[in-house]
Amino acid sequence: MCNVCGCTKADAAIKSEHQNEAGTVHQHATANPRMLEIEQDLLSKNNYYAAQNRQALHSSGIFAVNLISSPGAGKTTLLAEIIRQLKEQHNIYVIEGDQQTSLDASRIRNTGVKAVQVNTGRACHLDAHIVGHACADLGMQDNSFLFIENVGNLICPAGFDLGEAQKIVILSVTEGEDKPLKYPEIFHAAGLMIITKTDLLPYLDFDLQKCCEYAKQINPNIGIIELSATSGENIQQFSDWLITAKEQY
């Protein structure tokens, strides 16, 4: 059992065509040596599948991005907008992770790209084995973009490698500017932090400068883009970042 979220392998039924091989045991500290051994075994198994995913994706020139944020930060809205920016020149595929419903996959399919929905039930993250199966279902062409929208959660997804080329952490201005300090693991692992909903800044008490400073304290090399998917502010900057990162992959 996970001491933090309370889910168990038996409880967390995966409500999709895929089985979550990594279960729902996470990288949480425990005084029980047996539990620690199980956690290490599960993470080791996940890393094995992640390495397989990474090799397959890289050999096909598929640039995979793992999008991680709290619920409501605007991942799906941003993803739909960036798809519109890129789809005329690039093949794009999407894996949508949610505990329930296929609402986000439907939104993404409405942009004209192929998307697979993975419902995790009570599990709070995607794992590499399930992503590998979803990749097979997508039947992706070489030299494409793959966007993996993880389950809304800043904690558990940070510890599970999916075989992606880049982790991107998304933080909205409707959240606290201290999120990088409170959830340092994902900000340390991410290559880019996107601050969303900047069109709302005039109406909120959010210190943009402090947020960036906190993120740099955790990860001096993290890139930062401030944007609004609603107004379109700096969407082109994110599009350019993705294209450059893919070219360098």
Per-residue pLDDT at 18: 43
Give the residue ranges of the chain where pLDDT is below 70: 1-41
Asked whether the beta carbons of 180 and 215 are under 8 A apart, the reply is yes
Q: What are the tokens at 162?
A: 């999916």
Per-residue pLDDT at 198: 98
Structure confidence by residue, pLDDT tens digits, 170-199: 999 999 999 999 999 999 999 999 999 999
Per-residue pLDDT at 20: 40
- Residues contacting 10, CB < 8 A, separation 6+: none
Strands in 145-149's sheet, in edge-to-edge order, are 114-119, 92-98, 145-149, 63-69, 166-172, 192-196, 223-226
Please state, in angstroms and as integers, the Cα–Cα distance from residue 235 to each residue in 82, 84, 194, following that order.
7, 11, 10
Dihedral of alpha carbons 73, 57, 119, 14, sign:
negative
DSSP state of 122: T
